Structure 1
Amino acid sequence: MMKSLKIAALSLLMAAPALAREPINKEAYINQTLLQGFIADQIADNCPTMKPRKLRALNELVKLRDYALTKGYSRAEVKAFVESKTEKARGKAEAAAWLKKQGAVPGKASAYCAVGEAEIAKNSLIGQLLRSTR
């Protein structure tokens, strides 16, 4: 009986980290990946020689969804997070701040294009989500 209780207690302790997972909007990998997508979108929207790679972006979203599910987030949590207007606004604001640090500000298409070309050259996820038409 005592051995069974010890095994049960150990099982609960091992399950505790899964139960105490952080909110999805705080999960670093998910947020970093989405941020890179928001950055690529803003580059494509502001640079006439950059086009989004829509199939690549869709593939990345599927991979990110699968990652979230393996981390224990439910499909409902993932959907609510992705569709949240508040989270989209936060992501766009973070992307704009990142782009500003890189020298890209609204009204300077050439600056957005330069950042996009640099990211393509680095083969970063941002660059992989873009296609240059130059």
Structure 2
Amino acid sequence: MKKTIAAMMVMLAAVGLAGNLSAQASLKDEPAVRNGIIQVGMAYEISRQCGDIRARTLRGIGYLQSLRTTARDLGYTDAEIDAFIDDKEEKRRLENMARAQLADLGAVAGEPDSYCTVGHAQIAANTRVGWLLR
């Protein structure tokens, strides 16, 4: 699971949710951006663990771009956003938060069916995580 969440973080950087920190508060403290990244990571992990569920890749890329716009609208520069995404400690923190949220929802490492159960529930509830899945 650690590798897949790490892969998700690399994917975030690759699609351009990238930039450096100095505006007001630290970008890691911006809930709209932080929570969005965690939700993308959760959806990605569910899609990797559950054979019945697929990630909506184009929808995910569009959502990541909207997070970049959100960060810009909050006053962060591309350099500040890049520094946030490139921060290895922050990646680990976000990975742990995504894992904890999945566990809280009932996902159990090594038990793919538990990820399917969580994923189907997220899709049925039309949550942000569910919106990123099919």
The alignment's TM-score, normalised by the length of structure 2, stands at 0.79
The partner residue of 1:76 within 73, 76, 79 is 79
In the alignment, which residue of structure 2 is the partner of 1:48?
A: 51
Q: Could you report, residue by residue, the CA deviation over 1:72-92 in whole angstroms, capped at 9, with x for unpaired residues?
A: 000011122123332222111
Runs of 5+ consecutive residues of structure 2 not aligned to the other structure: 1-21
What are the residue-to-residue correspondences of 1:21-100 with 2, within 5 Å?
A: 21-100=24-103
**Percentage of pairs with the same residue:** 37
Partners of 2:28 and 2:84 within 8 A in 1: yes
Q: Distance in 1 between matches of 2:50 and 2:133?
A: 11
The whole-number CA distance in structure 2 between the counterparts of 1:20 and 1:48 is 42
Paired with 2:129 and 2:66, the residues of 1 have a C-alpha distance of: 15
CA RMSD, aligned part only?
1.5
Structure 2 partner of 1:103: 106
Larger radius of gyration: 1
Counterpart-to-counterpart distance in 1, 2:88 and 2:23:
25
**TM-superposed deviation, 1:27:** 0.8
User: Cα gap change, 1:20/1:51 in structure 2, threshold over 3 Å: closer, same or farther?
Assistant: closer
The offset of 1:20, in angstroms, is 6.7
Q: Aligned AA for 2:74?
A: K
CA–CA separation in structure 1 for the residues paired with 2:23 and 2:82: 20
Is this contact kept in 2: 1:46–1:106, CA < 8 A? Answer: no
Q: How many residues align?
A: 113
User: How far apart are residue 63 of structure 1 and its match?
Assistant: 0.6
The structure in which a higher percent of residues are strand is 1
Given candidates 113, 116, 119, the residue that maps to 1:116 is: 119
Kept in 2, the 8 Å contact 1:36–1:125? The answer is yes
